Structure 1
Amino acid sequence: MKAIVTARPEPHRVVDDDGNAEPYRHQLSIDDRVALAAAQEVADDVTAVGIGGDPARRCVRAALGHGADEGLHVEYDPIEEVAGDKYATVLSRVAARESPDAVVVGQSSSFAGAEIATLVGERLDWPAATRVTRLGTPNLDAEVSIEQGELAVQRKLSIGRQEAVVLKVPAVLGIDAGFTDPDRAPLSTVVAGQRAKIETVALEDVAPGESRFAMSIGAATVEDVTPNERWGRGRPPRAGTVEQRIYRMLGRGTDSGTSAGERIDAPPEEAAEQVVAYLRDQDLI
């Protein structure tokens, strides 16, 4: 059986005994380490897949050091954290390229969210099971009939409730964080992982049409942006005197930068009389 497993980074910070905190650094998500251990239980060929920049590549290297057989890095230079639906799109394209029997995802990863397993299943039209706590024969008082090309899984429903289901492979598995407590890899495995070769492919080769910008904004699209030069709604005016700029920012200016109104330099009572006279002349009162 062949499986691909996600290798996603999560921020990690170490505080020493003196209370000094080192800068944040990224390491392989603990949830994806659990997913890797789950994949190794049922697959004899496991490929760790990282999507992103250098942190993703380091996570693939870490997965190799924990026993993954192969490493694949879909490389691009992220602007921000990748949107969950975009991550699922690229992961499903990788699955179509590699033709595995299972895509195994850490269910509770803070990076790209817990929805990845479901989204990948939808894109590939594969059955998906989430919150998986056991692979193979369920640890429940339930009779499960398994035929060739099928996989039995046990999944969490709620606190104290679980169920056994059978999936037809290929399938997508979202592994619950409580599946196992991953052990440290033997030194020989760590050394082999450091020496292993990582296959690197460009994002556009896996998902044509995707870009480093699109990977961060998800399904949102921007068609046209028209700036409004009122205060707080776009760029402030750059031309004219200070008074003219203020009037324009308050929405009282014209394209030429002059005030749309008239300033009356007179005492309040006289100014009020002039305003009333103007309104009467214009048949407004």
Structure 2
Amino acid sequence: MRAVVTARPEPHRVVDDDGNADPYRWQLSIDDRVALEAAHQVADEVTAVGVGGETAEDCVRSALERGADRGVHVSFDPVERTAGEKFATVLARVTARESPDALFVGQSSSFSGSEIAGLAAERLGWPSATRATELGPEHLDVPVEVSEDELAVQRKLAIGRQEAVAVALPAVVGVDAGFANPTRAPLDTVIAGRRASIETVELTDVAPGESRFSMSVGAATVEHVRPNERWGRGRPPRTGTVEERIYRMLGRGTGRTRSAGERIEAPPEEAAQRVVAFLRENELL
């Protein structure tokens, strides 16, 4: 079985016994370390994928030092932290190129949020199982029959509740932080990881439409702001109390009368009739 696992950075700060704190430094996310442990449990070959600048490359290196077989770094100079949906898109495209049997994502990582597993699965068109606490039929609390192209997953539902499912491969697995405690790799594995080469791929080769600026911008919405035609293109009224002026600037009358901004507690038909009557009364219909 071949697997891809995320290698994302998160800030880490060490405070000594005297209360002195070292500056923040970036390291491989704890949750992605857990995901790497999960991938090693069921996969024969594991590829770590990092997206971003030098910190992402360092995280890929850390994954290699922890036993990952290959490392892929999608390189670009980020302006800010990468938006979750952008990260998921790039991750899905790299995963599709690698053609693994499963993609493992640290479910609770603070970087890019916990939605990455679901977004990546949507873009790949793969099934997903989130909050996984055990993998493989031999580790599950209840027996589950799986075929050669399925993976047995035990996943958390709520406090004290879990379920066991068989997920068709290829699939995306969101690994719960409680899956395992990350362990230190043997010294020979660390040395091999430091000597291993990392495949570097430019962002434009993976996502031609993206740039270092667009990667920091998620789903954008555009709001069209129009001047208030009823009150002189938004110029504030000069007469009346403060409350009356606010109501007039919002186009809601004087504050003493009914307005289009109030809630109508009535059945739909009656509410519609009252709205039409109000519009006609104010010569708006």
Do Structure 1 and Structure 2 share a fold, with TM-score over 0.5? yes
Q: 1:122 to 1:17 in 2, by over 3 A?
A: same
Structure 1 position 22, deviation (Å): 1.4
Aligned to 1:101: 101
**Residue aligning to 1:125:** 125
**CA apart distance, 1:208:** 1.1
> 2:100, 2:141 → 1: CA distance?
31
State which structure, 1 or 2, has the greater radius of gyration over its C-alpha atoms: 1
Q: Which moved more, 1:214-223 or 1:109-118?
A: 214-223
Conservation of the 8 A alpha-carbon contact between 2:137 and 2:143: no
1:149–1:168 Cα contact (<8 Å) kept: yes
| Residues 3-41 of structure 1: per-residue CA shift (max 9 Å, x gap) | 010000000111223322211110000100000000001
Extract unaligned runs of 5+ from structure 2: 226-234, 237-285
Question: How many residue pairs end up in the alignment?
Answer: 229
> Gaps (5+ residues) in structure 1?
226-249, 252-285
Match of 2:10 in 1: 10
Could you tell me which residue of structure 1 aligns to residue 60 of structure 2?
A: 60
Does the CA-based 8 Å contact 1:4-1:46 persist in structure 2? Answer: yes
Aligned-residue offset at 1:138: 6.1
- 1:125 is aligned with what amino acid? G
Normalised to the residue count of structure 2, the TM-score between the two structures is: 0.76
Q: Which AA in structure 1 matches 2:176?
A: D
Letter in 2 for 1:93: R
Do the aligned partners of residues 224 and 188 (structure 1) sit closer, same or farther apart at CA in structure 2, a change above 3 Å counting?
A: farther
> Where does residue 214 of structure 1 map in the other structure?
214
Could you tell me which amino acid in structure 2 is paired with residue 195 of structure 1?
Answer: R
1:22 aligned partner? 22
Percent identity, aligned pairs only?
70
Q: SS state of the match for residue 36, structure 1? A: helix
Match of 2:179 in 1: 179
What TM-score results when the alignment is normalised by the length of structure 1?
0.76
Tell me how far apart the structure 2 counterparts of residues 20 and 141 of structure 1 sit (CA, whole Å).
45
Query: Which residue number corresponds to residue 78 of structure 1?
Result: 78
Aligned to 1:156: 156
Amino acid at match of 1:81: R
Taking structure 1 as reference, are residues 28 and 125 closer, same or farther at Cα in structure 2, changes over 3 Å only?
same
Q: Report the Cα distance in structure 2 between the residues aligned to 1:139 and 1:202, rounded to whole angstroms.
A: 39
- Look up the equivalent residue of 1:159 and give its one-letter code: I
How far does the alpha carbon of each residue in 1:140-168 deviate from its partner, in whole angstroms, 9 at most, with x for none? 56342211211110000001110001111
